[in-house]
Copies of this chain bind each other. A is one copy, B any other.
Amino acid sequence: MSILVVGSVAFDTIATPFGRVESVLGGSASYFALAASYFSEVRVVAVVGDDFGAEHEQVLKAHGVDLRGIERAPGKTFRWGGHYADNVNDAQTDFTDLNVFENFRPRVPREYLDSEFLFLGNIHPALQAAVRAGLDNVRLTGGDTMNYWINRMRAELIETLKLMNVLLINDAEAKMLANETSLPRASRKVLTMGPQALVIKHGEYGATIFFRDGAFGVGSHPFRAPALPIEEVKDPTGAGDSFAGGFMGYIASQGKLNREVLKHALFYGGVMGSFAVERFGTERLQCLTRAEIDARFQLFRELTHLE
């Protein structure tokens, strides 16, 4: 089944201790779409400028990504520059040129209206809500957000959370959103705000999914997908969006929505995140095979398997 993703498409300039790349394809929608494309059909709603050429389109088209929802606006594509210090996963932003993204008003093409799965990438919560409002056939809405929206657009974000079935954020964001220092307490609080399930991404340590009591199955036990220790994180950019792509992509590829599907999806999210960071930008996500993906899924599974 198809997933619709709304988010950013950008040109990134990234420096890490392992090198530097300039103006490479990036943005939440690009990472998400590539990661999800190994599992499901993906439709993108985003905006680009007139510097977005056929060669950039081709990266996504080669993976069957539907680009009819990418608006081409006069001006330049969103550009972001950042660097990572030694052994640190937090990006230091060097510049943010919003360009055409500044006035982005997502428009969902008619051909996308039957989408059953939706991912609201990390954009203004009011825009996320607007996209969800126009879709009547959605069975599951996943969403992302960040500290900027949590701090500055709290009221709008609280409204948008009511529209999400699964929220995917990291430890610090969950604690900030709930204003709690304990992760289990933070997760319980977030689960009263709308989402039936909350995925907390722990970076190199994997991810945990918390369920509202009775949502997608019985009880409220959390579940954790551990990640393999990564040999060398070349570039952490897009790891979270790639995680979300693997997670949502796997779910959309399954007929049913239950805990076992969500648990497997959590593993596949970790798998795609772990691939993304092995090379710069979306490079690694462009050239994967499903066999490589399933082999790593198996590795992750064996990583914690007791006889």
Contact = CB atoms under 8 A, between A and B. Distances in A.
Given A205-B205, A260-B307, A184 B230 contact: yes
Interface string A195-217: 00000001011101000000000
A306 B87 contact: no
Given A202-B205, A205-B206, A304-B304, A184 B231 contact: yes
Interface string A233-265: 100000000000000000000000000100110
Contacts of A301: 306
Contact of A260 (B263, B302, B306): B306
Contacts of A87: 175, 181
Contacts of A202: 205
Contacts of A205: 202, 205-206
B223 A303 contact: yes
Nearest to A188: B231
Interface residues of A, number: 38
Contact of A86 (B181, B222, B307): B181
A232 B304 CA distance: 25
Contact of A302 (B17, B185, B221): B221
A183 interface: yes
Given A86-B181, A181-B86, A205-B202, A226 B229 contact: no
Given A260-B307, A306-B263, A222 B226 contact: no
